[in-house]
Amino acid sequence: MVRQNIKIAVDAVVFGYKDRNLNVLLIKRDVAPYRNYWALPGGLVLNEESLEQAVERELREETNVTIDYLEQLYSFGEPGRDPRNRVVSVAYFALVKPEHHSIKADTDANDVAWFSVKELPELAFDHLKILRMAKDRLKNKLSYEPIGFDLLANKFLFSDLEKLYTTILEKDIDRRNFRKKILSLDILEELDEKVSEGRGRPANLFKFNQKQYAKLKKDNFLFDIK
């Protein structure tokens, strides 16, 4: 009987919305293999940890980031994906507001930075495959769950919300229908605060009403943006 020798790891695809672009948080590895390559934050699960505790610890140690939204993505276990050992990685994707975090590299990372998903460096291991799957998951979930608000500032212009959707979905939207649909859901609160937007008239800021959404969800409310 062949004895298994498999290690369990976690990797995190951390998305943030910066300068009206979807970004991902990457670390530069300080250890072999793939030393000096950019990679997703992550590492081996300790014996006393749950998977969620492991990914939160790795993010804290390697990037100084704590999570606003975390969801398990998929398990990656192809033989040879790590040249050192047989490693199965349980990948997560997370959403954060970059302005709420001061990123800092530590442990086995010698640098950490945000990268636009459109301008990625060469990644270590199979991390590009993991990142692409996470990006597809984010695009799909955006139409049936209000997770986009986890990427926006707490107060935002409606045009910022429109741009977020067009950026992540990678397609134009009908702005009039989109605004009508979103406002009809009754989960946004229009504030008595205005911001100048280009040369036009000052526009009102909005915020996501989390309590109202939670209340509606209990009544089988369906968030549907298509």
Q: Tokens standing for 17?
A: 């919305």
Residues 89-117: tens digit of each pLDDT: 999 999 999 998 999 998 888 999 999 99
Tokens of 36: 């000096």
CA-angle at 73, arms to 39 and 35, nearest 5°: 10
CB 8 within 8 A of CB 91: no
**Start-end of H helices in 15-108:** 51-63
pLDDT at 132: 98
pTM equals: 0.92
How confident is the model over 145-172, as pLDDT tens digits? 999 999 999 999 999 999 999 999 999 9
Of 199, 202, 181, nearest in space to 191 by CA? 202
Phi first, then psi, for residue 157 (nearest 5°) are: -80, 150
* Higher pLDDT among residues 92 and 4, named by residue: 92
pLDDT, average across residues 2-26: 93
Max mean pLDDT among 17-21, 63-67, 126-130 falls in 126-130
Per-residue pLDDT at 12: 98
Handedness of CA 157, 160, 161, 162 (dihedral sign): positive
% of the chain with per-residue pLDDT over 90:
76
Q: Is the pLDDT of residue 217 over 90?
A: no
Q: Please state, in angstroms and rounded to a whole number, the distance separating the CA atoms of residues 46 and 29.
A: 20
Q: Are the beta carbons of 66 and 56 closer than 8 angstroms?
A: yes
pLDDT at 216: 84
> How far apart are alpha carbons 127 and 158 in whole angstroms?
34
The DSSP letter of residue 102 is: -
Which amino acid, residue 201?
R
Partners of 72 in the beta sheet? 92
Measured between alpha carbons, how far is 107 from 31 in angstroms, rounded to an integer? 10
- Cα–Cα distance between 150 and 1 in angstroms, integer? 49
The domains found in the chain, sorted by start residue, are 6-133 (3.90.79.10), 147-218 (1.10.10.10)
Q: Please state whether beta strands 86-96 and 6-18 pair in parallel, antiparallel, or not at all (unpaired).
A: parallel
Q: Compute the C-alpha angle 5/11/17, nearest 5°.
A: 175
